[in-house]
Each structure stands twice: as structure tokens, then as C-alpha cells.
Chain A
Amino acid sequence: MGKTFKVLAIPYQIWLYILVFVPLIAMVLIAVSNYDSSVPLNQINISLNHWSILVQRQNMIAFRNSVVFAVLTTLISFVLGYFAAYHIFQSKFKNKFIILTIVILPMWSNLILRVDALNNIFSQNNIISSIIGFSPFGNITGKPIAILIGLVFTYLPFMILPVYTALEKIDYALQEAALDLGLTPFKKFWKVIFPLSIKGVVTGSIMVFLPTLAGFAIPKILGKGNFLFIGNVIENKLLSSTIFYNHGSLLAVVILVFILGSILLLTRFDKEGETLL
């Protein structure tokens, strides 16, 4: 396409530069300031006193919870998501649009409502047990396993879709060649297909890891407040009577560090974000 349309990219560049950089820079600056809702804008000063919250016991536990649950969720989603994507990929059914639809359809219902429904059937007396006579999950609400199941099956579509996209891009001739050269079906998968789909796995893992790491609604609803995640700490900073913008910013900056690491990792595998969808 000609150079005529270059000009169309300019507004988007400006938009991105403003809305990507300005809020982030503001956040980083506020993280090293004394700004909370009791401080007028003209009295903001540089201050590092509140950095002590990073080593507060409660916040350290919240960090550990977030990281542990995010890693576990990503691993489980990887196993289940890869399996599901590979199963769809191998089936004769080739209408991608239907598959996409089936996988993203649950996401059309409200996230909070879905998590609350899960919370309902994770408890002893629930609507399913009232119909079939027993509770399929026992009474796990408020326990770590409930949070884990909730997280995995909320974010699983984010793993299935990129892996499936990556699998679909593999040339079928490569599979035929592998079999002709004498590989067993399992070796074919391990030596040919899996290495070629790694791009989708990396994308999927990041798309699962990040929202889990920073989420706060799912642990709050399914954990009954027993497990504090770093997102909950940030939320609480904003709900208190004095809104501690500096505390919230500092904690968000820490999450941001994780994210920058992930984005760098992703760009090593996928330059233009082709597998993101």
C-alpha cells in the first residue's frame, strides 16, 4: 500500500504516547512522593518514607500469594489449555470461527457474576446439591483450591486461543514429513509440533499470568477474604478514608516491573504480537 496513508498512523501514535506514557510516568512519580488525598496538589513533595510498606509482613504475604497463585494457575492452564487447543487442532472440525465462539462465549457473561456463581457451588449447600442431592465440590469455598479452580477456568480461554493460533500456522507438510521420516506420533508432537507452537505458549502464559498476578476480585470473592493478593492491598489503599495514592502507586509499580519483564520476554518470541489474538 502506498505512502499516502502514513498520516493515518499519526493520531494513534500521539494517543498511544499520551495514554501509555503519561499515566505511567505520573504513577512512578507519585510512587516517590507524599501524595495522598489529604495533601493538596501544591504541597506534593518527594518522599520515600512510605517505601517501608514494601517490607510490611502483610504486604509480603500478599506478594507471595499473588506470585504463587499466578505461577500455579499458569502451569495448570498451560497443561489443560495446550491439551484443549491440540485436541481442537487435531479434530476434523476446521471451522475456526465456531471454536473461537465456543471458547470466548463464557467471557460474554459478567466476570464477577460468574465468579459469584462458582462461589455458590463451591459451598456446602448450593443450587446443584439441592437438585442432585450432593455437593460436587464439597465445601471448598474460602480455601486455596477454590481460588485456583476459579482462576484457571476464568483465564483458560486466554491460553487456548493463542496456542490454537500458533498450532494452526504450522505447515501440515512438516507433520507428514516427520511421520515419513519414521517418528512415532508422540515424537512427532514433541520434536516438531511443540517447538513450533512455543510462541503461542509464551503469549498464552503471559496472558494468564498477568491478570492472575494483579487480580483482586476473584481472590476476594472465592477466598472469602482469607487470602490477600497484592491487588486487594491496592484496592484497600483506595477504599480507606485517606486515599493513599502514593502507596497504591508504589505497589502498582512493583507489578509493572513484572509486566515489563514479561513484555520483554514476549518480544523475543513475537515481534508484532501476531499470536496475541
Chain B
Amino acid sequence: MTNEKNYPRATLQEYGYKDFSKFEKPVKILKHILFFVIFLMLYLSIIVIAIQSVNSSVRTSEFLSITFDWYPNILQEEDLMTAIRNTFIVSFVATSIATVAGTFFAVGLYSLEKKKRQKIMLLNNVPMLNADIVTGFSLMLMFRLMMPLFPNIFGIFTLVMAHLFFTFPYVVLSVMPKLKETDPNLMDAALDLGIKPYKALIKVVIPAIKAGIFSGMLLALTMSIDDFVISYFNTGAGFDNLSIWIYGVIGRRNLTPSVYAFSTLLTIFTLAGLMGYTFIQHSKKGKKGELK
């Protein structure tokens, strides 16, 4: 009977519990370091471009001294300015059309039966998933075959059409989940209160999904401004956007540092714009909180 007291007590380890807590801290530090390295690598090229934009040497292999001359010089570089203008014209036209029309298309698709919608969504994803080179090449062939009818088709028209082709899916895909989130009674309520369906769409549904429209627009613009491959195949002689122009000049190794200056400016403005937007959103939420 007294032996019972001497039975050894099982420790947590004997139940199969392994104490890893002493590893927790080093692993955590390691994780933070790895995360930092990944982000550094993502931003490495941006950092290098920024340094090159303030380098007084034209050569990219050496750093002489800091200068900001390349920034005003952007305006002097005619080829660069033309390329920038072309890029912005194409991107803004394509993004505006894609955002407005894409939103209405998404509403239309949302009203369809589920089976049919899934089928169309599959098609919708083709431009996103298809390799740029296949999309670009096949569109070029189609435009090429249309040339006997429209001899001067290659140029801004084909470029905008090609950009529309791959920006629509992003808008549709961003708007669709927001539509699914909206209260289905919202539309009925609006109709019961006596406004016409299309007015209800603009006054009630669109405001409810505007976050989706905005992110779709942002994605479309990002894809459109940065596109190289599809534009490369579908532009006409003399209508170069920034990517095509840089690709051509890199081969000759005489890229003006003003290109780096422009790229850095674009990054800074984008960052400032997005930070500003987040800040406004944040302070809006704060105000709502106060009212409650």
C-alpha cells in the first residue's frame, strides 16, 4: 500500500509534450530577418534606380556626386517625353474605359444564373492567365489579318484595344466580390421607393461597391502602365510607350539618367498618393467612431 506513493509521476515530456519554447525567440528573430531580406530584394531595383537618378555620372557603373539636374532634364529629353506621353495616353484611356464599362459588365454578369456566370468568368480569366507573349502575338495576328481592310490600324488604336483586353478582367474580378457582399435587399428597397432600375444602379449599387471599383481601377492602371510584352507586339512604328522605348534604348546602352529620375518621381508620387488615401480612409473611420 505504501508503495503507491513511490510511483514515479509522469512528466509532461513523457506524455509526448515537447518543449519548444526556448527556440521561439531565435526563430522569431530569424523570421524577421528573412522577411526584411525578401522586402529588400523586392525593393532592390527601386533603390538602385533612385540612386542612379541622383548620380552626376552618366555611367551606371560609378557614383560621382549627388545632383538633381536629371529631374528638370526630363522635360528636355524629347524622345523620353514622347514615350511618357504615349504611355499615359494609352493607360488613362484604357483604364477609364475598363473601369466604367467593366463595372457595368460585372453588374450584368452578377445578374446571370450561376452556371452561366461561371462559364463567362472562365473566359474572363483567360487574358489574365494566358501568357503575355501568346496574347500579344495572337492579337497582333488578328490585327495583321485586318490590315487589308484598315491599312493603318497599328498604332494607338491597336495598343488601346490590347490594353483594354487585359485590363477588363481585373476590374470585373475586383467588382464581383463586392457585389456578392452587398445586401440583395438594397436594390429592392430602392425600387420599392420608386426609382427606375438604372438610376438605382447608379445611386445605390455603385456607391456600395465603390471600394471594389477603385481597387479594380488601380490594378488595371498598374498592369497597363507596366505592360511591355503585349504592347511590344501590338504597337505601330513610331508609337512607342515607355517600356518599348527603354527596351530599344537599353540595347544601345545610352539610356539618359532622366529615365531613372522619372521612374523615381513616379514611385514617390504613387507612394504619397496611396499613403494619403489610406490616411484619409483612416481618419474617416475615426470620425465615424466618434459619432457612435
A247-277 interface code vs B (CB 8 A; 1 in, 0 out): 0110010011001001100110001111011
Can you name 30 A-B pairs with beta carbons within 8 Å? A1-B107, A1-B187, A9-B105, A10-B108, A11-B105, A19-B139, A23-B138, A27-B134, A84-B39, A105-B274, A106-B45, A112-B247, A112-B250, A113-B246, A114-B49, A120-B52, A120-B60, A130-B63, A156-B42, A184-B18, A211-B131, A215-B133, A216-B229, A217-B229, A234-B133, A252-B134, A259-B130, A263-B126, A277-B173, A277-B219
Please provide the chain A residues from 203 to 241 with a CB less than 8 Å away from any CB of chain B in the complex. Answer: 206-207, 210-211, 213-217, 221, 231, 234, 238
A60 to B229, CA, bound (A): 23
Report whether B242 and A9 are in contact in the complex, using a CB–CB cutoff of 8 Å: no
Q: Which residues of A contact B44 (CB under 8 A)?
A: 117-118, 121, 153
Shortest distance between the CB of B234 and any CB in chain A (Å) = 11
User: Interface centre among B108, B170, B266, by most A CB within 10 Å?
Assistant: B108
Residue A98 interfacial (CB < 8 Å): yes
Q: Which residues of B contact A57 (CB under 8 A)?
A: none
Report whether A256 and B134 are in contact in the complex, using a CB–CB cutoff of 8 Å: yes
Residue A173 interfacial (CB < 8 Å): no
On A, residues with C-beta under 8 Å from B are 1-13, 15-17, 19-20, 22-24, 26-27, 30, 41, 80, 83-84, 87, 95, 97-98, 100-118, 120-121, 123, 125-128, 130-131, 149, 153, 156-157, 184, 206-207, 210-211, 213-217, 221, 231, 234, 238, 245, 248-249, 252, 255-256, 259, 262-263, 266-267, 271-274, 276-277
Q: Which residues of A contact B117 (CB under 8 A)?
A: 272
| CB-CB nearest in chain A for B259 | A113
Residue B92 interfacial (CB < 8 Å): no
Report whether A97 and B278 are in contact in the complex, using a CB–CB cutoff of 8 Å: yes
- Which of B39, B168, B267 meets A12, CB within 8 Å? B168
On B, residues with C-beta under 8 Å from A are 18, 20, 31, 34-35, 38-39, 41-46, 48-49, 51-52, 55, 60-63, 101, 104-105, 107-112, 117-118, 120-135, 137-139, 141-142, 144-145, 148, 161, 165, 168, 170, 172-174, 176-177, 179, 184, 187-188, 191, 197-198, 201, 205, 215, 219, 222, 225-226, 228-229, 233, 242-243, 246-247, 250, 255, 259-260, 263, 266-267, 270-271, 274-275, 277-278, 281
Report whether B49 and A1 are in contact in the complex, using a CB–CB cutoff of 8 Å: no
Report whether B123 and A20 are in contact in the complex, using a CB–CB cutoff of 8 Å: yes
Q: Which residues of A contact B188 (CB under 8 A)?
A: 2
A5 to B188, CA, bound (A): 13
Given contact pairs A84-B35, A130-B63, A211-B131, A17 touches B141 in the complex (Cβ within 8 A): no
Shortest distance between the CB of A116 and any CB in chain B (Å) = 5
A256 to B137, CA, bound (A): 11
Report whether A130 and B62 are in contact in the complex, using a CB–CB cutoff of 8 Å: yes
A262 to B128, CA, bound (A): 12
Given contact pairs A1-B107, A116-B246, A267 touches B122 in the complex (Cβ within 8 A): yes
| CB-CB nearest in chain B for A121 | B48
Shortest distance between the CB of A260 and any CB in chain B (Å) = 9
A268 to B125, CA, bound (A): 14
Shortest distance between the CB of A136 and any CB in chain B (Å) = 9
A157 to B109, CA, bound (A): 28
Given contact pairs A8-B105, A23-B142, A105 touches B250 in the complex (Cβ within 8 A): no
Q: Closest 7 CB pairs between A and B?
A: A8-B108, A9-B108, A214-B131, A23-B138, A12-B105, A114-B45, A117-B48
Given contact pairs A3-B111, A211-B132, A118 touches B45 in the complex (Cβ within 8 A): yes
B interface secondary structure, majority? helix
| CB-CB nearest in chain A for B103 | A8
A103 to B219, CA, bound (A): 12
A146 to B250, CA, bound (A): 18
Given contact pairs A9-B108, A117-B52, A123-B61, A110 touches B123 in the complex (Cβ within 8 A): no
Report whether B131 and A8 are in contact in the complex, using a CB–CB cutoff of 8 Å: no
